[in-house]
């Protein structure tokens, strides 16, 4: 049961809704159901028709286009929000991109162009948004981004995205220190695999899901509710003493060193 007053009087921005399967959408809805006012940004015109009806569902008063590759878009977004709200209390960054051709096979074959683009969209954009958010978090606040265990250990096909997520997690620690004095907390959620638009680009994703289900301590894959519940904790005052934290929401998969002997082997036709 969600406490409908946990986020009362709080307002903020969720970046990265593409459709109703997006992690950003699950978090936005949970924040709204907990009493928050939620502004949304989406990547480009193509996504607008998907995001508009979702924004209506949560009475979102601010919906803006923001392609994070364009620093001007980021500046404009926070300017608009400041105009309407003056201050915000939270920012959620649920954005990542890499060329799907490079999310299969070996990391060794990463191209320079895709390396730079992956780092820019999936890592740097969080820092760029944090810099603007700081200016309108005059009463303190919380920043949250999304990572994946492929930042810590080798994961098949995750490749350059693993490198970008490592850098993103390091950014979280540096930002937590830089912003701590202003009572701004910075954390990162690391969910297990879940089917979304972005994850559909990762090679053998079906196999990865099955493997996680078979081998995690909870013996199941995570749900959007699992993720948004943890996000709510990190974005609310419940986690008032937590910053710079990498919080796994993965049915405990990250503590496993080896598949259990009674866990099934998986064979899939390629
Ligand atoms: P999603 O496809 O729903 O969301 C990814 C979002 O990134 C989309 O809204 C897309 O428009 C946005 N985006 C990409 N390039 C952009 C740009 N240039 N400017 C603005 N927005 C841009 O998929 P998701 O799985 O909900 O991904 C959200 C976050 O969760 C990502 O950081 C992803 O790496 C992370 N994550 C996902 C999983 C998973 O298994 N799905 C697991 C762990 C972490």
Backbone angles phi, psi at 162, to 5 degrees: -65, -40
- Span 25-35, mean pLDDT? 98
* pLDDT at 158 (0 to 100): 96
3-state secondary structure of 108: helix
Structure tokens at 224: 């959007």
Ligand 1 atom index nearest CA of 122: 32
Round to whole Å and give the CA distance between 216 and 104: 23
pTM here is 0.97
Q: Give yes or no: 158 in active site.
A: yes
Model pLDDT for residues 98-137, shown as the tens digit of each residue: 999 999 999 999 999 999 999 999 999 999 999 999 999 9
CA of 263 to the centre of ligand 1 (A): 31
Residue from 70, 196, 227 to probe ligand 1 pocket by mutation (most atoms less than 8 Å from CB): 196
| Band of pLDDT at residue 270, cut at 50, 70 and 90 | low
Q: Is pLDDT of 257 > 70? A: yes
Q: Which residues contact 129 (CB under 8 A, 6 or more apart)?
A: 15, 68, 74, 78, 91, 93
Give the helix/strand (H/E) hosting 14: strand 11-15
Interval 141-156 mean pLDDT: 98
Please state the length of the chain: 270
Whole-number pLDDT of residue 168: 99
pLDDT in tens, 149-198: 999 999 999 999 999 999 999 999 999 999 999 999 999 999 999 999 99
Whether residue 148 lies in the annotated active site: yes
Overall average pLDDT of the 18-36 stretch: 98
CB 17 within 8 A of CB 54: yes
Options 32, 42, 148, 253, the catalytic residue: 148
Q: How many other CB atoms are there within 10 angstroms of residue 153's CB atom?
A: 9
Q: What percent of the chain has pLDDT over 70?
A: 98
Q: Are 186 and 219 in contact (CB under 8 A)?
A: no
Question: Using a 6 Å CB cutoff, which residues line ligand 1?
Answer: 16-18, 22-24, 43, 47, 67-69, 94-97, 121, 146, 148, 191, 193-194, 196-199
Whether 17 shows a pLDDT value over 70: the answer reads yes
Tell me, what's the pLDDT at 1?
Answer: 62
Question: What confidence tier does 92 reach under pLDDT thresholds 50, 70, 90?
Answer: very high
Cβ(162)–Cβ(107) below 8 Å: yes
- pLDDT band, residue 11 (cuts 50/70/90): very high
Instruction: Report how far apart the first and last C-alpha atoms of the chain are (Å, whole number).
Output: 43
pLDDT band at 212 (very low <50, low <70, confident <90, very high): very high
């Amino acid at each position: 049961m969600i406490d409908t007053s946990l986020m009362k009087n709080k307002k903020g921005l969720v970046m990265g809704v593409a459709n109703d399967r997006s992690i950003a959408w699950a978090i936005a809805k949970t924040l709204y159901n907990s009493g928050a006012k939620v502004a949304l940004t989406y990547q480009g015109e193509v996504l607008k028709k998907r995001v508009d009806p979702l924004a209506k569902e949560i009475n979102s008063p601010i919906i803006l286009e923001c392609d994070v590759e364009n620093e001007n878009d980021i500046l404009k977004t926070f300017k608009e929000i400041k105009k309407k709200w003056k201050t915000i209390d939270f920012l959620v960054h649920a954005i990542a991109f890499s060329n799907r051709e490079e999310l299969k096979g070996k990391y060794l074959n990463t191209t320079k162009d895709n390396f730079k683009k992956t780092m820019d969209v999936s890592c740097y954009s969080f820092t760029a948004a944090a810099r603007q958010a700081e200016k309108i978090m005059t009463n303190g606040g919380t920043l949250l981004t999304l990572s994946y265990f492929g930042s810590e250990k080798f994961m098949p096909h995750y490749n350059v995205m693993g490198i970008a997520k490592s850098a993103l997690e390091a950014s979280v620690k540096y930002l937590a220190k830089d912003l701590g004095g202003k009572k701004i907390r910075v954390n990162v959620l690391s969910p297990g695999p879940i089917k979304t638009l972005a994850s559909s680009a990762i090679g053998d994703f079906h196999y990865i899901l099955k493997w996680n289900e078979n081998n995690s301590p909870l013996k199941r894959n995570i749900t959007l509710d699992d993720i948004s519940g943890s996000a709510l904790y990190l974005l609310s005052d419940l986690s008032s003493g937590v910053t710079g934290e990498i919080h796994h929401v993965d049915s405990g998969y990250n503590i496993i060193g080896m598949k259990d002997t009674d866990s099934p082997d998986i064979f899939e036709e390629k």
